[in-house]
Amino acid sequence: MLSTGAVACLDAAAIAGGILGIALMEAAGAAVATRAKALLPANGAVLALCGPGNNGGDGFVAARLLAAAEYRVALVLLGERSALNGDAALAAQAWTGAILSTIPSDLTRFDLAIDALFGAGLSRDIDGDARAMIEAVAATRMAVLAVDVPSGVDGDSGSVRGVALPAVETITFVGLKPAHLLEPGRGLCGRVEVVQIGAGPDAIAAGLEASLPPLHKNGPDLWGAAFPRLTGASHKYTRGHAVVLSGPATRTGAARLAARGALRVGAGLVTVASPAGALAENAAHLTAIMLRRCEDPDDLDDLLADERLNVILLGPGLGVGEPTRDRIGVAASAGRSLVLDADALTSFAGEAKHLAGLLADGGGEAVLTPHAGEFARLFDGTSVLRGGSKVDRARAAAALMKAVVVFKGSDTVIAHPDGRAAINAHGSPYLGTAGSGDVLGGFIAGLLAQGMPPFEAACTAVWLHGDAGLRHGPGLIAEDLPELMPAVLSGLAERLSAAPPTLAHR
Ligand SMILES: NC(=O)C1=CN([C@@H]2O[C@H](COP(=O)(O)OP(=O)(O)OC[C@H]3O[C@@H](n4cnc5c(N)ncnc54)[C@H](OP(=O)(O)O)[C@@H]3O)[C@@H](O)[C@H]2O)[C@@H](O)CC1
Ligand SMILES: Nc1ncnc2c1ncn2[C@@H]1O[C@H](COP(=O)(O)OP(=O)(O)O)[C@@H](O)[C@H]1O
Ligand SMILES: [K+]
């Protein structure tokens, strides 16, 4: 993905490579016109809203092409025509129709608005004439086609600067920007289409270079190569052994949900480590998953004497306080891969640095999976909470913890301490149900158990979890998520064009 700042570098590299800026703008405007035609009735009426920069330039090009194709076009320019510069001025020169300085009073006659007010160059909150224009159009039922990003949406954070114009569709250029995936931007974009506008591979490489550290849209392209594959020689011990710590009696369900997730996603063995008082309750519900008594930190230490237990998940239903902190201390010092969720994170509220110290001392790899509330509690008092986008905050958290951070939500961000990050858009609101996050933690543990590196394991788990949510739809409860894995994993295997694991045994 590209940051908005990188767009200028990309343009400069394209121009240095012999492509004129106006050619890029013509291609961008042509793509907008093509999509507008698809949204418009024959001879439909278009309101083109053009801003003072190159986003407006794209709007002038689209307006010209639509007028030439016999659509009825009214064009409104924010600001003075004489104030237009560079390519936008050239695009305006080629427009021979009228330029209105205010929007027409009767907006009901328009079928579509092209929103070319502000794109990558939005630099402050919108007010005055621009705000009035946006509010007037937003108050109608007119469909809006946004150029690059809906005006008012900050391209890097997805936040709204004062006011934003919701779109049914957004056409962006060369690559996705963070605002297309981060809320509230994502919800304001409608359907997003990325179009190529003739910037060559060198220019795109320059844009990506300027966008470092890399930010990805989460999906199989990012982690498919690291996804575990079975061979005929695979057996349960090659698929890893995950341990999930259970809470006390009457609070054991979360751990079992996680354990079931770990097993279904492919861990060879899964053990629930349970306090004595909760053994009967856990035993009544577990079959393929093993059960061990684990009353105190010493029991956990004993359990971990078996080196084959390679991943430990702590947090779901575990309780907040000293006993949980002690168990985390033991688990961290065992040097295994850790997944810390829910109560494990809240037990270190305001003490993120202390937790980071424990993790560093143990030398194992860790994945932390806070939702927004847990994130705010854990990082209270640190610079992590100081502004920036959700990606910025996830990156800062990962750097502080020297661990992979999965900052959950409808726009889950996965961040690595080295700065690489991914935004997940593959999911469904039906995932917002009690215990859903516990299963996600289990998926991460199950993939770590199979040897995936933590960043890839976390990205994969988030995607699989989202895929399950999309497949199931209404009526989803957390128990369904592990049981959807056979279908989800078969679908993934097809996507990766790898034979489903069972074929390897034929
Ligand atoms: N390679 C690509 O991807 C290509 C990208 N292209 C297109 O270029 C677009 C980026 O163009 P851009 O850099 O000129 O910025 P843009 O969004 O037009 O806004 C800047 C203007 O808005 C003004 N302004 C800012 N905030 C304001 C506010 N709140 N209220 C009022 N005014 C405000 C700001 O004023 P200033 O801050 O300078 O006072 C300045 O005049 C990009 O989104 C894409 O559509 C294509 O043409 C082809 C190649
Ligand atoms: N609107 C949504 N779209 C996509 N995913 C969502 C949405 N709401 C919640 N989720 C996902 O559901 C999970 C909920 O986890 P969490 O808040 O920890 O719940 P719990 O503690 O009940 O298990 C997270 O993975 C989150 O990203
Ligand atoms: K726009």
4-212, what's its fold? Answer: Rossmann fold (3.40.50)
The CATH architecture that domain 220-505 belongs to is: 3-Layer(aba) Sandwich (3.40)
- 59 known ligand binder: no
Q: ipTM of the assembly?
A: 0.96
- 106 known ligand binder: no
Contacts of 380 by beta carbon, 8 Å cutoff, 6+ apart: 349, 350
Euclidean distance between CA atoms 54 and 58, whole angstroms: 6
For the beta sheet containing 72-77, the strands, ordered from the edge strand earlier in sequence to the opposite edge, are: 72-77, 45-50, 112-116, 143-147, 169-173, 191-195
Residue pLDDT tens, the chain, 506 long = 999 999 889 989 999 999 999 999 999 999 999 999 999 999 999 999 999 999 999 999 999 999 999 999 999 999 999 999 999 999 999 999 999 999 999 999 999 999 999 999 999 999 999 999 999 999 998 999 999 999 999 999 999 999 999 999 999 999 999 999 999 999 999 999 999 999 989 999 999 999 999 999 999 999 999 999 999 999 998 999 999 999 999 999 999 999 999 999 999 999 999 999 999 999 999 999 999 999 999 999 999 999 999 999 999 999 999 999 999 999 999 999 999 999 999 999 999 999 999 999 888 899 999 999 999 999 999 999 998 999 999 999 999 999 999 999 999 999 999 999 999 999 999 999 999 999 999 999 999 999 999 999 999 999 999 999 999 999 999 999 999 999 999 999 999 985 555 444 33
Strand ranges for 240-305 from DSSP E: 241-245, 269-274, 290-293
Atom of ligand 2 nearest to the CA of 436: 23
What is the CA(70)–ligand 3 centre distance, in A?
A: 24
Euclidean distance between CA atoms 101 and 76, whole angstroms: 6
Domain boundaries, the chain: 4-212, 220-505
- 102 known ligand binder: no
For the beta sheet containing 215-217, the strands, ordered from the edge strand earlier in sequence to the opposite edge, are: 215-217, 421-423, 413-415, 404-407, 366-368, 337-340, 309-314, 241-245, 269-274, 290-293
Tokens for 496?
A: 């990766």
Asked if 4-212 and 220-505 have one fold, the answer is no
Atom of ligand 1 nearest to the CA of 147: 45
- Name all contacts of 178-181 with Cβ < 8 Å and 24+ positions apart: 178/1, 178/3, 178/215, 178/389, 178/391, 178/423, 179/149, 179/153, 179/154, 179/155, 180/149, 181/1, 181/217, 181/411, 181/423, 181/424, 181/425
What is the CA(60)–ligand 3 centre distance, in A?
A: 12
Euclidean distance between CA atoms 75 and 269, whole angstroms: 65
Residue carrying structure tokens 């694991």 = 501
Euclidean distance between CA atoms 416 and 434, whole angstroms: 27
Model-level pTM?
0.96
What is the CA(5)–ligand 1 centre distance, in A?
A: 11
Ligand 2: lining residues by beta carbon, under 6 Å: 342, 371, 408-410, 412, 427-429, 431-432, 434-438, 440, 465
- Which neighbouring-strand residues pair with 77? 50
* Phi then psi dihedrals of residue 113, to 5 deg: -110, 135
Smallest CA separation from ligand 1 atom 31, residue: 126
